[in-house]
Structure formats: C-alpha cells, structure tokens
Structure 1
Amino acid sequence: MDTNHNAIRHLKYLRQSLSQNNESIGFFLSAGCPLAVQMPAGAWPLIPDVANLSLYVNEQLAADPKYTIMLGELVKAGKNKNNIEDTLSFVRSLYLVSAGGDVRGLSQNDLTALERKICSTIVSKLNMQLPNKETPYHKLGKWMKSIDRKVAVEIFTTNYDLLTEQSLEDLGVPYFDGFVGSRKSFFDLRAVEDSQIPNHWSRLWKIHGSINWVQESENGRAQVHRGSEVKEDASHIIYPSHLKYEESRKMPYLALMDQLSRFIRKKSSFLILSGYSFNDEHVNDTIVNALSANPTAMVLGLMFGNYEKDHTDGGKIETYPNAYRLAKSQHNLNIWTFDKAIIGTNLGAWSMSPHDEDADADILQFVISEKDPIEEGKLRKSIKLGDFSALTTFLQKIIGSTRELSNG
C-alpha cells in the first residue's frame, strides 16, 4: 500500500460538503450510534448493539421450550442464532409455510406467539430515553437546525429505538417520517413519494421499523400505525424484512428502501453512514445499485476502529470486509476507518504534509497523532469520525461556517 490520503484536505472537503444548504445531504444511522451516548458508570450502553441485543433476547426467552426448538432449527438451517434479525426472518419464513400443519415442530400459533415474544422483548430493552440534551443525537439535531435549508436533510436509520425522535423533538426540529394523522397515524405512501413536505421539515426514514409501529386489524384488514407511546402488548413492526410475508408490513419497508435509492440517485447527493457495518446485503445492494446509476452521488462510510483488528490466531483480519470489497470497486463509495481509508477505490493511510500544520484548529483537532504499532518511534495519523460522538462534534464545529456560507 503506497497510497496516502491527506487528512487535512479530505476533512476540509467534508466540511465544505456539509456546509451546503442547497444540496441533498443525508445521514444513515445504524446500530453503532447509540453506543456513542455517554452514560453514568454501570449504565452503558444505553442501548446494546445487535450482537448484545440478540444475546439478551436469547437469555430472556431461554425458558420457553418453543423458542429453544426454534433456535435449534435455526442453527440446523445454517443461520446465526446470535443475530436477532436472522432469528426474526427465520420465524417469519416458517410462518409463511405453516398453514395447515406444523413446520419443524412448530405450529402457526407457536410461530405467531414467538414473533410477538421476540418483538416485545426487544421493545423492553430499546424503550430508553437519552440522558440529557448534550448527546451526539442532539448535536446532529443542532446542526440540522442551524440554517434554513433549501433541500431537506434526510436521516435513514436501521435502528428501532426512539432516540432520534427524542433529540429532534427536544430541539424543536420538525420532521416527517412517512406517517400522517394524530390519533392513529398511518403510513402515507403518496406523501413519501411526492415529497411535497416543506423543506424546513427534515425527513426520518426508519427502514427497519420502530418500537412504536404496530400492526392492528381494522375491518378485517391489517394496518400499520405509528403511536405516540410504545405499547407493551402489541404486534410491533420491527425488522419487516424483504420477505413478502405480509402485505401490510411489506409496504413501509419497501417504500422506505425505495426512498433510500431515490435519495442517492439525486444529483450530487451526499450520504454519510455512521454505525453501519455493511452486514445487511439488501441495504448494501440498494446503496451500490443507486451509486452505479448516479456517478454524481457520494456515499461516505465512517467506520469505528482501525482497518484491521486482531484475530484469535494472533494475526490481523479486516474489520469490515464487506465495506472494503464494495468500496474498492465503486469509485463513489468511500470508506474511512481510524487509520486508513478507501477513497476513489484506492486504499491508503492517513497522512499530513508539513504545511498542513498551519490548518485551522477546528480541522486540526480531528487529526490525531498516535504511535505506529509497527515502526518504533514513528507516529501515524488517525481520523476518528467513525465514532458517532466525534462525527457530531465535527458537525457542531462547522455550524458557524455553515451560517457564514449561507449568508455569504
């Protein structure tokens, strides 16, 4: 690897891109983001990542014999029992073929009950509130509110929690999430696709559902509603995957995935991924296909940690192999890890030239000098915007420059 990427130049470009008020700017927030919320001793994390959430659900339902049977069948099918989204997809796929008889020792009623128990357990763990108004989520909201934008900021998230909603509402940032109405809000596909909502309303697209989305039956027809409160005993719409297991649940999922594709296909769109590990193939395909169709778009994946991590055999392995594979063949998908980056399909370490030391302090503070683990006595450069907290601090630092640009 002979290529180096100048840290100062790329941070300045990022700041300039985020200072625009007339371009399509979006954020894709995933499971790593809640881990950036600082909590009192013993209370972290506020919300666990997918792996630890999966372990929690498995522990809570371990005494249920039907759940044990289902996990055993899931493992036989080559699925990962420590990925709750795999588990939900498996339960729902069995439900599809369960009419009229048992499937893998489980009846249709068993599978319905299992899905509800899994979702209720997830809701109990994810129904949390941000501890104060100085969190990374609030910093993102302050940046969104900082100027009167000509094009609405769009937030996509795979998270089911309500942390983004809480922060935006704390700050008085208006947003549209695809639902309309007040008593029993319902999903309005036309409003999503027509995009006639005022530009000062940000957009919030929860592509994997939410703990306050429920399915209810009305006049013999299933409908998805968004409630103002989280219901304990309800049919929650969590991870409504691309399996066509039920029309009413399929529609919000497919509509919001289409919206992700539509956003990236906009001229000069810029989407920043935070907390996303590129382990969802359907999301990956949507992003790459849209990028391939629109060479003016740019997607920047900000990854937590270094390019490589320690392996159990004592060597090193790639931390995010799926992300690297895609970025090395897609010129407008860039990946930044702490110590290296793939930019324009080229892998390189972060670097600085001598004259870069004169860059302004707001940029310099995000370039960190650390001891090189390989060459003794040498320092290497790091950019740690893959930490959601560092990213939102960067956003907060550029609020002033954003205002200057909009007034200039």
Structure 2
Amino acid sequence: MNHDQIRHLRSLRLLLSQDKSPLGFLLAAGCPLSVRVTGAPLLPDMAGLTKIINDTHATDTPTTPYKRLIEELKKADRDTSNLEDVLTYIRSMKEVSTGGGTVRGFTESELNNLETEICNTIASAVTKDLPDGDNSYRRLARWVSSIDRIVPVEIFTTNYDLLLEQALEEQNVPFFDGFSGSRYPFFDIHSVEENELPNYWARVWKLHGSVNWKTMSGRVYRVSKGIAGSPELIYPSKLKYDQSRKMPFLAMSDRLTSFLLKPHAVLFVCGYSFGDEHINDTIINALKVNQSANVVALMYGKMKKDDSGTLVTPEAVKRALERPNLSIWHDEEAVIGAQRREWSKFIDEKNEFVNFNFKKVDDRVSFGDFASFTSFLSELIGDHPDADKK
C-alpha cells in the first residue's frame, strides 16, 4: 500500500492554516540554494565553500602551510574536498600543539592562521543580500505575516546568513532573535528563557550563530555591517560542539528542545540532510518525550540513488523508521508513521489543489526543494506576487 499523497497534502494544508498550535520551521544549508542568480545559487553549499578555499591556494607553492595541510590530509586518508574534515584536522592538531610545540611540522601559529583564514572565507561567502524579485525567503516571510497567530511562529536555522532577517524586515514582520538594545544589541538570556513577547512577533533562533554576531568585551552582540572582528559562529567540523557549551549557542539549542516539548508542536524541516548528530539527538530526544509533537522533514530529491539503491539520506531514514512522529518526504518515497512506502500518484479527483502550481517528479508532488514548498505556502494565502516584487 502506498502513502496517499492527496490525503497528506490535506493534512499539510490544515497544519499550516492553524493559528493556535505551535508551528515552527528548521531551515538548513539546502534552503539558500533555492535562491539563484543567473542560474547559480546565491550562496555556496559546503562543496562550493571548499572549492573557494582550494581555488584561493591553487597557485601556492608546495611548501606553503595550506598545501602542506592538504598533503597531510591525503596521507591520513582524509577527504580534502570536505571542509568539515579539513577544519577537524586543523583543530585536532591545535589541541596537541597548545603551548608552542609543533605537530606534523605545523606550528601553533600556522594552524591558527589556517583556521582563521578558512573561517573568514566562510563568513565572507555567505554575507550577501537577497536579489531583487520573488524568491523562497520572501514567500515564507509573506506567509508569516499573513496570519495573526495565537501562538508565535518559531524559525530555527543553522545558516549564518541574513537572508531570512532581510525577508522578514521587508515584509514588516517583527521578530525576536535573542538580542536586546539599539546601538549594540546584546544577547539577553533572560528574554530568551522567558519568551514572553507578543505572539504576533516571530521568533528567529540561529543555532550556529550569525555573520552579524560579534564578541566584544566578553559579551556577544548583534552588530551592523562594517564592525571589525570575527563573527561568532559554530564553524563546521567534527569538533564544532566542543565550543558550543556556552551562551548563546546552548540557549538556542534549548529553544529547539523547548519548542518540541510543547503539546502538539509541528516542526517543518527544510534543506537539512540529518548530518548533524547534535541536532538529530535534540529532535529525537524531544520526540520521545512528547509524542504529541510531529516533525515533517521535506527532503530534496529521491530517497535512493538511481540504480545503486544506496540511500541518499540514510540517517534520516533510520531515525524516521524508529520514531512514528518523525516523517520524511522524498520525491518518490516517504517514511510516515515509521512506515516506508512509495507515494501514490498525484490524482486530484476533487480539484482541491487545481490552482496549486506544484513541482512534480514522476507524477508526485515534490516539496524537498525549498522554493517549491514556499510556493505552496504562497498559494495557501492566495499570494501571487509580480515577478519583480520584493
């Protein structure tokens, strides 16, 4: 028996129309890829960031620190095309070199410089504005602004960029991100924990920090463009959470737990491949405690690679098969209620969705593309912006 796509689309439409139940979104690295400029993504993915770093050092001599680092990674059978592996290796050596020693021929100063360069390159690459015209972030912002909710919308994101903030501000959507003040807004843990702001304010929780967070005099501030200093971010590496047991990162993670523990909470996950064990554990542990909560993960592409049968998102499938209140929707298959089945063909006999311009794959609706999902949100509120509308 297949999963009935029409039935689940009805449920999805109903969930998104509620104003009394806790409703949230988790936006991850795949979401910015939906915003394209001249055919290319506005922001690079992890592979794109790695290419930027490698291209920067393409003409280096073999004796430079970065070239030597790549050779050491190859000797250790590490993936030189994966920025997470590169940073993990650097940080592992830094732990050993503390005190001025050398590790595999690298001084502590060389390792610090390598880490700083890579992290600054990441921050620079994701510091961009939304281009003119309609796009997925503006559609989400218009949907948030369309409903006077009794329970506020909460948006969690692992992304460092400011695309979401820009879209919300353009639509005059008030939101709280954990910071208070005007000149140099400071992170306010008491406001985050109490969360007693007006319900029509959206909540934006940046789980890995932001390009406009800076540490000054021992405190984390949200700053305007042009303020000197490295951004306060959790950069990708296997050791990234060693540095996260401090404010504000711990408080942001606690907000995700708190949201999922609310009765009948629903979290839509977009652009996330379930590759972060810390976030996975946070979600799963909350779902175990609160079985009235539901997480719906909208996954990009097919569940298995063509011909080979290898799962594209094995961790997501594994977790969903173990938790009935975690669903994952791929293009041709879904795991719903811990049952993995193919989708039924999209046959709208009652013309319930006749005005919805769905993206389809093999006669099935595809929501794994963030642009497609936000187009669905636009249709729910009857929003048909002009192509050049901001």
TM-score (norm 1): 0.85
Is it true that 1:324 corresponds to 2:317 in the alignment?
yes
Q: Which amino acid aligns with 1:120?
A: N
Q: Which residue of 9, 20, 24 maps to 1:11?
A: 9
Q: Could you list the runs of 5+ residues in structure 1 that have no partner in the other structure?
A: 371-380, 402-408
Post-superposition offset of 1:246: 5.1
1:391 maps to 373
1:375 maps to none
- The correspondence of residues 48-127 of structure 1 with structure 2, limited to 5 A, is 48-62=44-58, 63=60, 65-74=64-73, 79-100=78-99, 101-127=101-127
1:238 maps to 233
Distance 1:179 1:291, change over 3 A: same
2:341 maps to 348
CA RMSD of aligned residues (A): 2.5
1:62-116 CA-to-partner distances (Å, cap 9, x unmatched) read: 5382233344445555654333234334434443443212334333332332222
1:178 touches 1:205 (CA, 8 Å); kept in 2? Answer: yes
Q: Which residue of 347, 352, 363 maps to 1:360?
A: 352
Post-superposition offset of 1:182: 2.3
Distance 1:224 1:72 in 2: 37
1:341-389 CA-to-partner distances (Å, cap 9, x unmatched) read: 11001111111587x411313576438473xxxxxxxxxx312111101
1:132 match: secondary structure: coil
TM-score (norm 2): 0.89
Q: Which amino acid aligns with 1:9?
A: R
1:215-251 CA-to-partner distances (Å, cap 9, x unmatched) read: 33x2xxx3322212155x622223257656558x832
Q: Which amino acid aligns with 2:316?
A: A
Q: Which amino acid aligns with 2:19?
A: N
1:28 match: secondary structure: strand
1:45 maps to 41
2:269 match: secondary structure: strand
Distance 1:237 1:72, change over 3 A: farther
2:345 touches 2:364 (CA, 8 Å); kept in 1? Answer: no
Q: Kindly, what percent of the aligned residue pairs are identical? A: 44
Distance 2:250 2:81 in 1: 25
- The correspondence of residues 218-229 of structure 1 with structure 2, limited to 5 A, is 218=217, 222-229=218-225
Q: Which amino acid aligns with 1:275?
A: G
1:309-335 CA-to-partner distances (Å, cap 9, x unmatched) read: 23xxx5332121111111111100000
Distance 1:58 1:347 in 2: 40
Distance 1:369 1:155, change over 3 A: closer
1:378 maps to none
2:305 match: secondary structure: strand
2:167 maps to 167
Distance 1:98 1:362 in 2: 63
Q: Could you list the runs of 5+ residues in structure 2 that have no partner in the other structure?
A: 384-390
1:8 touches 1:363 (CA, 8 Å); kept in 2? Answer: no
1:127 match: secondary structure: coil
1:68 match: secondary structure: helix
2:279 maps to 283
1:309 maps to 305
Distance 2:263 2:77 in 1: 41
Distance 2:48 2:332 in 1: 26
1:177 touches 1:204 (CA, 8 Å); kept in 2? Answer: yes
